[in-house]
Structure formats: C-alpha cells, structure tokens
Structure 1
Amino acid sequence: MKTRKKILVMILVLGGVGFFGIKMRKFRPLIIAFALILISTIISAQEITADLGYFPNLEFNDKIVGSNTDDNGNTFEKIVIDGFDSKIPFYNIKPKEQKEGKYVILLHGITGNKDNWVNPTTSLSEKYVKLKDSLLTLGYSVIIPDAKYHGERSYQGNFASPLTFFSLQDLQKVYNLYTSSVKDIRIIIDYIESKSTSKPQIFDVIGYSMGGQMAILLNSVDERLNRVVVCVAPLDTQKGSKRIGMNEDSAKSLELLSPKNYAMLQKAPITLLMGTKDGWYTKGEAQDFFDKITIKDKTLKFYESGHYLPDEFITDTIKGIKKK
C-alpha cells in the first residue's frame, strides 16, 4: 500500500511540475503512462502472490511418528506438524556425514507422494531415489513432504485422484492444492529453522512436474531459498488444466496459478530442466518463461525427451544446487 501511494505521488508530481521544477507538459502523457504501467505491474504482482502468504505458526504440535537408521548410517524420520489448514506429514532424512544446516526440499508430481523418493515403483521414481541418494551422499539433509490431497493426505480429497478435480471442475480443490501446499512448505521451513542449532540454515528446492510448479510459486514469495531446480514444470495452468478435462471457463479461473506469471518474481537462482518433446509445454513457452526471469543467475537446459527426463537430469540437478 505504501508503494502505491508513493507512485501516485510520483504521477502527480511528474505530471504537473516535472524534474527540478521545470514544466514538462510535452512529456507529461509519457511520464504518466510509464508510472501507470509501473503501478499496474506492482499491483498485479501483489494480487498474484497474495494467496501464498500465511501467518507463521506459534506452535507446530510436532510429533516424530517414525525413526530409524539405515545400513549407510542415514537417519530417517517421519514427522507430522500443523500446516496451513491441516496436518503435514513429511520425511526428514539426515546423512551420516551431514553438512550442518544444508537442506534440500524435494517436491513430487501430481498423483505422486513422498514415498516416490524412497520406495521406487516406476522408472521415474527410480530416478527420484537415485537423486535423493546422491544428495545424501553429498551430505545434504532432505525434506520430502506430501502435497495436499496426495499420499497420506489423500483423505482430504476423499481419497480421489487429484486428476479428477480437473474433470469435475472442482476449482476450490485445485486452488487449494497449489496454494496450501506452497504455504505448507513455508511452514516446514519455519519448523526446521526452529529446531536447528546451526545458523543460518540453507534451503534448496527441487521440484518435478507439479512439484516444479510449486517450486516456482514458492520462489516468488519466500526469501529464504538458496537455489531452485525446476524439472519439466507445466508453465500454463489454464492450458494444462484443459488437457486433463477442465472446461474453458473453469480453466480461465486458474490463470493466477500459472507459473508463467511468476517469471519476473523469481528470487533465488533458478535452473530449468525441460524436455523438447514434453506435451505439457512447448520449447518456445519454456524459453519465453526463462527470458522473462529478471535475476541474472538462471540456467535453462533442454533434453531431447518428453515428460520423463533421461538419467542425465540427476547430475544436472545436483549441479544446479551446487552452483556458486
């Protein structure tokens, strides 16, 4: 609000008197137009990110519901805490040789869950596990949550596949899926910070598909991220929603959730790993999103693949979070 007032004052001042008291009637329309575009951009950004905000928890009501140590000395914990509007179950896995205070948050795709990173059942989840194991070997602790309506949180959607929300035109559930999950990740970061003895903590984020979308949204509002790697994220929610059964009018209502709107809002350095044959976006759309990112520390790599990236993406993902 203060920013808006300042810009309105600037419009009045520049539109009337000009710089150093010299009248600039000739340039007044151009100056006013520029100022209006600026304030419109700021208001739009505020509108886009408003629903990703939250009030930090005073109490987490945390409980460790499972704990063990594997043969490699990695400590595995399953933790449940109070999230934005429900309980959040997540895995906290710490390597034997730990880099104190360094965490990587791993975000799964739609219909997936946190177990995909631990117990592989598909060729993609096998790559998830390889990536997770590589991070542990390098000394990173990994945080793996279930997105809302997924895994142990599927009861929140009456155990239905989240894909059905689109064909049923259930806008509220689709909206909550993204906004609540992003807020839950922010709350998990709050929790880790509250429990850590080392300062500062460093949080990297890796998201695949829907998880990549959430990573983009998260990186538009949270200043605490160190580096972000986005893999094959659908960039146009309106377009993607129609692909899985949502009608035109309903899909338009989800426009504010489109990652493409968040390019100029990215905060932490970001790496995009995309497929040239992926049906969820075109190469041109990915390039356009990348070009609109205003921060200098950004990377885009294309693979000659579809939505399932080749094993090479594992190495490139690790490079993305290790860049200096």
Structure 2
Amino acid sequence: MQTTFRKKASKLMLTALAVLATTAALWWGIFGLKPYQPSPEQVQARYDYSAPLAFAPSLKHLGEHAYEIRFNSFDGAPVNGRIKYPSDPAQAKSPFPLLIAFHGLGRSHMRWWQSTYKGGETLEHTHLVTEQALQQGYAVLALDARRHGERKNLEYSVLDLMRDMKLWGKREPYEAMIIDSIKDYRLLLDWLLPQPQIDGRKIQVSGYSMGGQMALILGAQEPRITAVAAIVPPHLDDKVAAVAPLRFAPALADKKLWLLSADDDEVASLQQNQALFEALPGREKKHLRFPGGHILPKDYPAQMRDWF
C-alpha cells in the first residue's frame, strides 16, 4: 500500500515538475529578454537630438559658488541639477575645466554634493570626488537622470521599470531612460561650453554604477569629452544593446580612460570587468581594482587624484 502511494506521489511530483518546466520555457519564449543586434546607424539615431528653438536654462544662486540649473530638454521634459565652481566665476582669471557627474540607479544628483542621506552616511561617497575636483580647480555639473530625484514618476517607478524589463522583456523604457538622460546632458553642454567661465578644452566625465555606464556612453558620443572615469559600471550585454558600454568602447579612442571596479561586484564579475578594460582603446588607460562588492572602500576618491 505504501509502495503504491509512493509511486503515485512520485508520479505526481514528476508531472508537476514537467508542467513547471514547460511553463517556464513558454514564459521565456514569449517574454524573456533576448539579445538583439541593432546596426550602428540605428543606435546612433537614438542618440541624436535637436535643441529647442529658445533654449535658456534658468540659474538660481545657492551660495558658495553653486547654482541650481533648470531647463526644458529636447522633448520638453523638465530637467534639474546643479553646477558648482571652485571660486567666483565672475572673478576668475582663467576658465575652469569641467567635471560632468552621473549618479547611480535609484539615486539623484544630490549624491555628488551631500555626505549624508536621511540621517546616514552615503554609500557611494561621490561627494568626495566632487571635493577632489573642486580642490583641483574644476567646476562640477550634475543632473538628475530621468525617473530619478525630482524627476521620479511615482506611478511608474524605477523599480517598476526594472521589474518589467526582467520579467516581461520590456527593455525600451530602460534604454530610453539611459539614452534620454545622456541627451539631456549633451543639450546642456551645447549651451554651457561656450560660456567664458568654462574651459572647453578639458571636459571630463565620471559616474558611479549606472552613472559609470552613462559616463562611458557620453564619452563615446561626445568628441568634446577628454577623459572618462567609470566607477563600478554594471555589465550589460546585447539584451540592452543600445546602452551596453562594450558596444561604445571603440569610440573612446584618444581619451584618458579609467575603470574603477570591485573584484566581487554583484553586477559585474572580475572577468567581465577585465573584458571591459581590455576593450577600451588607447594607451592612456588605467584599471583600479578594489576588494569587496559594488560599494567601494570610502577612500577610493583619493586614488582618482591623478585622473584630473
């Protein structure tokens, strides 16, 4: 009797597993995020933009040589951020080089200015990179990426976006968030770089995590960028080909390129980071490796001193 029961139970379990495997295969076939191969022309078309006819960012003085920036982007979307100078730009004897700063996923541009968030110490310590840049005479510019900071969409959050991409294969909202954020910066640079207080010959870009990904792409898109420091960028493949940094590596020639990676990063393995570094062109490149995971040791900004 017990033997018969066990056989029936085993049969039921095998049937359930077969149904589960079939369902998973069906889900993957319909909804799974799959690689695609856009042409270089198709990718470039997504990064092209047209400036509004009357583009005039508003500036609000915040004190200590810092200004809040607000403008409407190429598609009319409102953009906010901040620029800070190492000294009074009106009294400067020479123009300032510029650091463009990208924040990480789920963060905001304020991570480049503040050491604390909601009463606790920030994890990325990008404010120390800002301090390093200001000490070396750079102006620093940071904007909120789309769907972040003041630009959050409470009805469809970044978490919703990432969930739908992983579960239902909806890559377009994620790719659009990255691409359009980069276009926001490019539009502002068109206005900012001709300003007399900015040295257009020395424009550098850095970013943490998603910001590192965006820094590499902006550097590839912009001949005006002279140096890129990508801090723990995530590994992305052709499932999101339009925003995968490896695809943009060849266009980064003739720039100073630094990659800061973690040996046990949760979003990029040691081998994947090494492959990205090897794909970066040129002789003036450097790979700084740190122990631990995606949150780097607090002192990593000090090691970026020579990148400026």
TM-score by length of 2: 0.77
C-alpha separation between the residues in 2 aligned to 1:207 and 1:138? Answer: 18
Name which structure has the greater RCO, CA cutoff 8 Å, separation 6+: 2
Establish whether residue 93 from structure 1 lines up as the match of residue 89 from structure 2.
Answer: no
Q: In structure 2, what is the equivalent of residue 139 of structure 1?
A: 137
Q: Deviations over 1:243-292 (max 9, x none)?
A: xxxxxxxxx3x233211222222242210000001010111111111112
CA distance in 2, matches of 1:194, 1:125: 35
Which of 287, 301, 305 in structure 2 is aligned with 1:314? Answer: 301
1:168 maps to 2:164: yes
Alpha carbons of structure 1 residues 53 and 88: separation in structure 2 relative to 1, 3 Å = same
2:273 to 269, 286, 290: 286
Q: In the alignment, what sits opposite 1:5?
A: none
Are residues 208 and 199 of structure 1, via their aligned partners in 2, closer, same or farther at CA, if it must alter by over 3 Å? Answer: closer
Shift of 1:179: 0.6
What residue is the counterpart of 1:222 in the other structure? 222
Unaligned residue ranges in structure 2 (runs of 5+): 1-37
Match of 1:261 among 218, 237, 247: 247
Is 2:205 aligned against 1:210? Answer: no
Do the aligned partners of 1:117 and 1:125 also contact (CA within 8 Å) in 2?
no
**Matched-pair contact (CA < 8 Å) for 1:124–1:308:** no
How many aligned residue pairs are there?
Answer: 258
Cα deviation 1:108-131 (Å, max 9, x = unaligned): 000000112223215445712222
Deviation at 1:189, TM superposition (A): 1.0
Paired residue for 1:51? 46
Query: Shift of the alpha carbon at 1:58?
Result: 4.0
3-state SS of paired residue (2:235)? coil
Tell me by how many angstroms 1:202 deviates: 2.3
Query: For residue 163 of structure 2, what is the amino acid of its counterpart?
Result: S
SS at match of 2:172: helix
Deviation at 1:45, TM superposition (A): 3.3
Q: 1:317, 1:88 → 2: CA distance?
A: 29
Q: CA deviation at 1:50?
A: 2.9
Residue 282 (structure 2) pairs with residue 295 (structure 1): yes
Distance of 2:237 and 2:73 partners within structure 1: 25
Matches of 1:202 and 1:266, distance apart in 2: 15
Q: What is the aligned partner in structure 2 of residue 7 from structure 1?
A: none
Any conservation in 1 of the 2:132–2:302 contact (CA below 8 Å)?
no
Structure 1 stretch displaced more, 92-101 or 142-151: 92-101
State the identity %: 23
- Matched to 2:180, the amino acid is S
Contact 2:204 2:225 (C-alpha < 8 Å) held by counterparts: yes
Give 1 or 2 for the bigger CA radius of gyration.
2
* Distance of 1:176 and 1:273 partners within structure 2: 26
> Contact 2:97/2:200 (CA < 8 Å) preserved in 1?
no
Looking at structure 1, the residues matched to 82 and 198 of structure 2 have their Cα atoms a distance apart, in angstroms, of: 20
- What SS is found at the alignment partner of 2:281? coil
- Decide whether aligned partners of structure 1 residues 101 and 56 sit closer, same or farther in structure 2, where only a CA change above 3 A counts: farther
Matched residue of 1:54: which SS? coil
Aligned partner letter, 2:272 = E
* 1: CA distance, partners of 2:128 / 2:286: 22
The alignment's TM-score, normalised by the length of structure 1, stands at 0.73
Give the equivalent residue in structure 1 for 2:110.
Answer: 115
1:81 matched residue in structure 2: 71
Displacement, 1:305?
1.8
Check conservation: 1:274, 1:302, Cα contact below 8 A: yes
Cα distance in 1 between the residues matched to 2:164 and 2:302 = 39
**Runs of 5+ unmatched residues, structure 1:** 1-42, 239-251
